[in-house]
Amino acid sequence: MLSELVPVFGDKMKIYGGHWLRCDIPLFEHADTHVLYTDIDVVFLKDVVETAPKPKVIACGPEHNKGDYSYFNSGVMIMNVEAFARKRVALVEALKGRLSTTAPYDDQTLLNDVFRGEWDHLSDEWNWKPYWGRNDEAKILHFHGPKPANATVMQAGNQDIFGPDFKTIYNRSPEGYAYYVPVFEKYQE
């Protein structure tokens, strides 16, 4: 997918290329039938190997609201490698058709459009967000929106340096961030 994006966005793809590389997993993964992809802003809270679902094509959780499967968040995705490979042709064609209107960071909209009606729902616990509050059953914690460093600044009362999106997300559950930021920091030691 990067071969389509780099000529259009150039150096910006050095920042956003990783998001798009998930779409290339079927090009090099030939040993496993299913692959768990995550963004880098996650913490594994429980062992996921034994309980991972095996979707028909992909499985993802909701974007912003628990249980709202009208639009998925692709930061945690389980992929059926063979089925995704078959669908990848349509994904590349859809990308080519919108290169003039897409943004270099907006792989998720494309994925949602191409996989509409074909994706399995991951339970919220597989892509838990701090702004949903504490959940002792969460498997993967995803710092979607404010990252731990952002949340630490906000906890100190410095929210005004952030845009309205980050402030709104953080203020949905400052308690959730207060609980999960130390969990994240524990893994940095």
Rounded Cα–Cα distance for residues 95 and 1 (Å): 8
pTM of the model: 0.91
Domain 2-124 class, CATH top level: alpha beta
Contact 44, 186 (CB under 8 A): no
The parts of the chain modelled with pLDDT lower than 50 are: none
**pLDDT tens per residue across span 41-71:** 999 999 998 889 999 999 999 999 999 999 9
For the chain, give me the number of helices (H) and strands (E)? 8, 6
Q: Where are the domains of the chain?
A: 2-124, 145-186
At 185 the pLDDT is: 92
Q: Which of 22, 33, 20 is nearest to 80 (CA)?
A: 33
The 8-class DSSP code of residue 123 comes to P
DSSP, collapsed to helix, strand or coil, labels residue 77 as strand
At 2 the pLDDT is: 77
At 7 the pLDDT is: 85
